[in-house]
């Protein structure tokens, strides 16, 4: 019986390669998540004002939760929009 | 006693001196109740991301507070009564931060070129790009 090995990638000669990014909030010089730091928060918010998913930004689950809290605080203080039309 | 950070937004019509008087008033309330304000920051008249009570701008003030809960409650009660206060947020923190907050630090480097800001934008234009990769692979196969 033939064994079919499916890799899910067509080609195989040049597989789609993406370097695994590490969480931007871990490491020795990681910035502190702060609702007052707009410059930092804006990097994790789309142009529509929505939060960017952590699978795009590579933020760890724990830090993503902290980040969500910070974004919500910044929104309450009208520093960030809830939605951009 | 516990540490708190309070940010309040005052109406745009009042002057900076009046905002100063407001924060002095709240400082007095806290000291009457055995607390103190360790740091006061005036962020200036900033544009709001959306309208609050028909205001498009507001005076932002940050207070770093070391006070018992009762004093803080009294201050918050007075903020709610005061019609010049549009909104306030109090966060309990483990330690008060020294030096200027991130808000004032970013003010200084506002004119520097933006470097990391392209990262979120990659999210929006991700769709068409992955399509392009797929068709390329299909041609190869």
Name the residue among A11, A39, A81 with its Cβ closest to that of B141.
Answer: A11
Look at residues A84, A57, A53, A51 and name the one whose alpha carbon lies nearest to residue A69. Answer: A51
Residue with more model confidence, A21 or A43: A43
Complex prediction ipTM: 0.71
In tens, the pLDDT along A30-55 reads: 888 999 999 899 999 999 999 999 99
List, as own/partner pairs, every contact residues A45-52 make where C-beta atoms lie below 8 angstroms and the sequence separation is at least 24, other chains included. A45/A71, A45/A80, A45/B120, A46/B120, A46/B123, A46/B124, A47/A84, A47/B120, A47/B121, A47/B124, A48/A83, A48/A84, A49/A80, A49/A81, A49/A82, A49/A83, A49/A84, A50/A83, A52/B120, A52/B123
The structure's pTM equals 0.73
In tens, the pLDDT along B89-133 reads: 999 999 888 878 877 777 655 444 445 444 444 444 444 444 444
Q: What's the confidence (pLDDT) of residue B82?
A: 93
Q: Return the SS3 of B94.
A: coil
Note whether A9 contacts B137, CB cutoff 8 Å: yes
- For residue B6, list chain A residues with Cβ-Cβ distance below 8 A: none
pLDDT above 90: percentage of residues in chain B: 66
């Amino acid at each position: 019986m033939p064994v079919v090995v499916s890799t899910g990638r067509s080609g195989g000669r040049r597989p789609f390669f993406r370097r695994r990014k590490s969480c931007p909030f871990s490491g020795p010089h990681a910035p502190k998540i702060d609702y007052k730091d707009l410059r930092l928060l804006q990097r994790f918010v789309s142009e529509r004002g929505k939060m960017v998913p952590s699978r795009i930004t590579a933020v760890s689950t724990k830090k993503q939760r902290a980040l969500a809290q910070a974004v919500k605080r910044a929104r309450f203080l009208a520093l960030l929009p809830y939605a951009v039309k | 006693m516990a540490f708190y950070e309070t940010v309040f937004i005052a109406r745009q019509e009042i002057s900076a001196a009046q905002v100063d008087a407001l924060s002095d008033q709240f400082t007095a309330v806290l000291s009457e109740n055995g607390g103190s304000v360790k740091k006061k920051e005036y962020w200036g008249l900033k544009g709001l991301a959306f309208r609050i009570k028909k205001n498009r701008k507001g005076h932002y003030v940050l207070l770093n507070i070391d006070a018992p809960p009762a004093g803080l409650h009294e201050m918050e009660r007075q903020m709610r009564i005061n019609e010049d206060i549009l909104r306030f947020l109090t966060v309990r923190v483990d330690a008060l931060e020294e030096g200027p907050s991130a808000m004032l630090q970013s003010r200084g480097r506002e004119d520097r070129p933006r470097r990391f800001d392209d990262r979120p934008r990659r999210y929006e234009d991700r769709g068409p790009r992955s399509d392009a990769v797929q068709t390329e692979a299909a041609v190869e196969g």
